[in-house]
Every structure is written in C-alpha cells, then in structure tokens.
Amino acid sequence: MSRRRVAILAGGRSSEHEVSLDSARSVAEALTRLGLQVSTIEIDRAGLWTLGEAPLAETALCETALSETALSETALCDTAARARALERAPLPGGAIAAALGGVEVVFPLLHGPFGEDGTVQGLLELAGVPYVGAGVTASAVAMDKDLFKAILRDRGIPVTPNLTLRPGERIDGGLPFPVFVKPARLGSSVGISKAHDPDELEAAVALAFRHDEKVLVEAFVDGIEIEVGVLGNRSPIASLPGEICVTEKEWYDYEAKYGEGQMELVLPARISERQGARARELALASFDAIECEGMARVDMFVSREGEVLVNELNTIPGFTRTSVYARLFAASGIDYPALLERLIELALERHARRGALAF
C-alpha cells in the first residue's frame, strides 16, 4: 500500500456537501498516515471542480476552457466547459485520467445525487481508473429506492411496504398512518416527512415532489432501527448490527443524523442472536441482489413481531472515524486504517478482474 497514489473525490452538489468534506478530511488524514500519496478533487455546490493537495485546501477554480485533447494535470474546470471540450476530445477517458494526475485509485466520497448515483462511477469507468465502492449499476439502483425495493422483492428479500407516486398520481389508501414520505432518489432524510393524517400526507407529498419526480410513501414500522455494514466484492462480509437510538427527535431525520448528541449508536444492537444473524444474512443478500461491490451500509428495521425488514442500502456511507459504517466494523474487529486499506485493495482487485474481460 505504501506510496500508492490515491485521489479523494469530495464535496458535490447534493445537500450532503459538508458531510462529504468531513469524510474526505478524515480519510485523507488516515491514508497519509499509512504512507500513501493523497490528493483531493473537490466539487463545489455549483459543480465546479478543484484539484488540491490533502487535506482539502481552498484553491482557485480554473476559469479557462479545456484543451481539445486533454485536461490540465493541475487544474479542473467548470462542468459546462468540461462537457464542451470532451465533445471535441478524441479520448475523453484518457483526458479525464490526465486530470486525475496519474493516480492509481480514486476514493469517491460523494453522497447523494451527482456522486453516489452512478454518474461519477461512469466517469471513472470511462477514464479507466480503479475506484473504491460500488459500480455504475449498483450505485444507480441503490439511489432509486423504488427500483431497489422492486429488485429485493423479486429476490424474496423482505422490505418495508411502500407505494410509489409519480406526478399527477394520488394515494388511494393502502397504508395505515403514520407513514413516511420521501423522494425516491435522494439521501440523508432530505425532503422526508412523517405524516400522521391525510392533511400532513398531502403536504409531505408536495414537499417530496419538489425534490424528485418519483415519491415513495412507506409504512411505519413499529420496532427497532438497525444498520449493518458490508465489505467486499465477490465474497463480502457483514458487520455486527448496530442499533440507531434517536435521543431528541421523533424519527431519524437529517438533524438527528448529523446533529451533535442527537443519535446514539448501540453496539451490538439489542436484538436476539437469531435476529442479528438474520440481519447480516439480509444485508449480504441485498448487497448481492444489486451486484454491489466494495462497501455498503444496509438500513433495516426489526419489527415488534421480530421480523427483519430491509429499508435502504447506501453505497457511499459517511466515512469519518465516528461515522456509523466505520464504527460498525471497528466493533467487528476491523479498525479504521485497516478498513481503508481493504477498500483500496478491493478497488484494485475489481479493476484487474474486469480488465481481463474481452469487451
């Protein structure tokens, strides 16, 4: 691992921009201590790309257009200029690779749309650069909670019940109150509401439609919320389940996730041995169902009746030392530096495996 060149991709256009930067700083510090050469690529909220050194630094944005054949190794430019130049560039993949400065592995730490949804993963595939985490398909499917649940249902994996709405559609019964209403393709509880009656439901649906053209109305599960980490490619492992305890909010919303002292992670979760084994089994099955690789955090519920239900799968979870994913594996015997090393190894292994295929 020593002296490998790693680029951390962070920031992004989503509401989780600052969370991404926090993760990037933590990962950059840890990888530097491991002896790796670390650079950072920061995407601001407007989609402008900046190349810097680790830890994340404020650097001037490039105001010039790209050359017709390659990106500069020391500056990245705005999205529109990139698009115009790449239309003329004969080798867009090679041009992007040049912008990455000849790195050996990219570590995307972008959360939500324009980063966790397969878009950046597709860019890195075109560039031919190994990268940490899920590929294009798994990233896109996991981001779309409607498609994700449909695939899991087809595999016989139990999921939280839901209805899916598109513009102009209305709910015609089907789920008892309370319900959760969320945009189908966002993360971190943005645009999500808990509705207790028809009036709240109408307002919640309107809010969700301001964020997405597809909305999920999910059944409330009376029970315990748990999360399981998954690590690996073809032979993944699952962490111990952790229990999410919200201390000051009615449910696990954005403030509870990122506010100081508003969430307690209980490790291991206070569930039976059988339920814990079932949770790990379903986490691995969900990971496999969408052909995920690298890492994921699977969010689940254990109902009062004892049934374990899958709710979501996150392909790029928060990644500071105190983030849930890192703490799940620390409790399972894999500390933060070892976790990062393993993820880079997995990225290189997948790239070599896929590179041996004939396309």
Tens-digit pLDDT profile for residues 225-247: 999 999 999 999 999 999 999 76
Burial of 272 (0-12, 13-18, 19+ CB in 10 A): exposed
Q: For position 259, what pLDDT does the model report?
A: 54
Q: How far is CA 181 from CA 113, 155, 214, 244, in A?
A: 18, 25, 11, 20
Count other Cβ atoms within 10 Å, centred on residue 233: 14
The pair phi, psi for residue 340, each rounded to 5°, is -65, -45
Taking 50 as the pLDDT cut, the residues of the chain under it are 55, 57-96, 256
The pair phi, psi for residue 354, each rounded to 5°, is -70, -30
Q: For position 255, what pLDDT does the model report?
A: 56
Which among 51, 76, 53, 73 has a CA at the least distance from the CA of 63?
76
CA 260 to chain centre: 21
- For the record, the structure tokens of 98 come out as 């040049």
Alpha carbon distance 235, 233 (integer Å):
6
Strands 223-232 and 215-219: unpaired
Alpha carbon distance 115, 10 (integer Å):
9
User: Helices 336-355 and 324-331 sit at what angle, rounded to 10 degrees?
Assistant: 100
Q: Where would I find the H helices in 194-240?
A: 198-209
Q: For position 83, what pLDDT does the model report?
A: 43
Q: For position 324, what pLDDT does the model report?
A: 94
Residue that is written with structure tokens 């492992």 in the block: 237
CA angle, corner 332, sides to 327 and 334, nearest 5? 75
Helix (H) or strand (E) holding 268: none
**pTM for this prediction:** 0.85
- For the record, the structure tokens of 216 come out as 């999920």
Q: For position 68, what pLDDT does the model report?
A: 29
Q: For position 48, what pLDDT does the model report?
A: 83
